[in-house]
């Protein structure tokens, strides 16, 4: 049997054994798993020679380090975005705290109904079959992708609202990520349908990406707090459609809207890039663990 000197190798091996459920058969307790030290001491493991232990340990340690770096970079970017959302959109004074050079005018206040209209288009004759959902975390996505199955009753989707590309949707379902429910834009390259529980609206005379980013701020939360209610269901916020559409919002010139929208689009793309790298690294490590350990 090879000498056990590769501490990193043993560390990774034990994590792998936990992942594949090796310890579950020895664990006790329903709330917190507990394993007898004798069972740990008697665990059967396969070890390569010392130099191979060291090489495998170094590779996996490097991957863990890379994963940690991307996780931290992603957290930093998300914190930066959160700070910029607070500072680059106009507050009650009508002026943002931070602005691009060359812009100094006060933002104009208008009602949501001035730049949008509620959509009443129903899925007549079941023309569309792609059911969408409005997630606080992921935005507007296909229901099948989000839940891994169709939740809607296919025999009752004729009463669903049609959601075309760039339509906005308000979901009154509240969560930790969306205190008053999320408002998102359909960025999919196809039309879909949504339950009549959602409020669907179209917009005009405004940069759609700017408005989408504005709804990621908290500037509209006070209005919701003052004009709505959690209603009978604790997980759903209640507000009349007409009241919602009267929401006051502050908007700058179209040129400033475009610059703001582009800046946050680039920031979102960078965050997404780090998430993809993270997913790839984790998948690669998973593959290595499956192939490197017996």
Going from N- to C-terminal start, the domains of the chain cover 1-102+252-294, 108-251
Distance CA 98, CA 94 (A): 12
Which helix or strand (DSSP H or E) is residue 257 part of? Answer: helix 254-292
Quick check: 161 and 170 in contact, CB under 8 A?
A: no
Determine the pLDDT at residue 43. 63
Query: What are the Cα distances from residue 214, in Å, to 119, 207, 255, 280?
Result: 20, 11, 15, 31
Strand-pair partners of 108: 251
Low-confidence ranges of the chain (pLDDT < 50): 1-6, 32, 294
Q: How many helices (H) and strands (E) does the chain have?
A: 8, 10
> CB count, 10 Å around CB of 210?
20
CATH superfamily for 1-102+252-294 is Bipartite methylase S protein (1.10.287.1120)
pLDDT in tens, 36-50: 556 556 666 666 676
> CB count, 10 Å around CB of 119?
17
pLDDT in tens, 138-183: 999 998 887 665 555 566 789 999 999 999 999 999 999 999 999 9
Is it true that 1-102+252-294 and 108-251 share their CATH fold?
no
Spelled out in words, what is the top-level CATH class assigned to the domain 108-251? alpha beta
């Amino acid at each position: 049997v090879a000498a056990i000197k590769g501490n990193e190798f043993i560390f990774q091996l034990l994590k792998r054994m936990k992942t594949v459920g090796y310890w579950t058969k020895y664990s006790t307790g329903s709330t917190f798993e507990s394993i007898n030290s004798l069972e740990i001491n008697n665990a059967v493991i396969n070890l390569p020679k010392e130099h191979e232990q060291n090489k495998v340990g170094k590779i996996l340690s490097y991957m863990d380090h890379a994963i940690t770096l991307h996780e931290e970079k992603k957290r930093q970017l998300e914190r930066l975005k959160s700070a910029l959302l607070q500072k680059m959109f106009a507050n009650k004074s009508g002026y943002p705290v931070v602005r691009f050079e060359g812009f100094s005018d006060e933002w104009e206040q208008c009602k949501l109904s001035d730049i949008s209209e509620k959509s009443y288009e129903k899925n007549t004759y079941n023309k569309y079959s792609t059911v969408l959902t409005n997630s606080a975390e992921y935005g507007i996505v296909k229901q099948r992708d989000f839940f891994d199955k169709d939740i809607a009753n296919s025999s009752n989707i004729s009463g669903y609202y049609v959601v075309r590309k760039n339509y906005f949707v308000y979901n009154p379902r509240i969560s930790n990520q969306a205190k008053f429910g999320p408002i998102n834009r359909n960025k999919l390259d196809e039309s879909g349908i949504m339950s009549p529980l959602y409020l669907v609206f179209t917009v005009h005379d405004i940069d759609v990406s700017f408005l989408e980013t504005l709804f990621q701020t908290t500037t509209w939360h006070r209005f919701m707090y003052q004009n709505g209610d959690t209603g009978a269901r604790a997980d759903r916020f209640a507000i009349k459609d007409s009241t919602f559409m009267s929401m006051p919002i502050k908007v700058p010139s179209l040129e400033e809207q475009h610059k703001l929208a582009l800046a946050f689009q680039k920031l979102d793309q960078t965050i997404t890039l780090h998430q993809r790298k993270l997913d790839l690294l984790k998948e690669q490590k998973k593959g290595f663990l499956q192939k490197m350990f017996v």
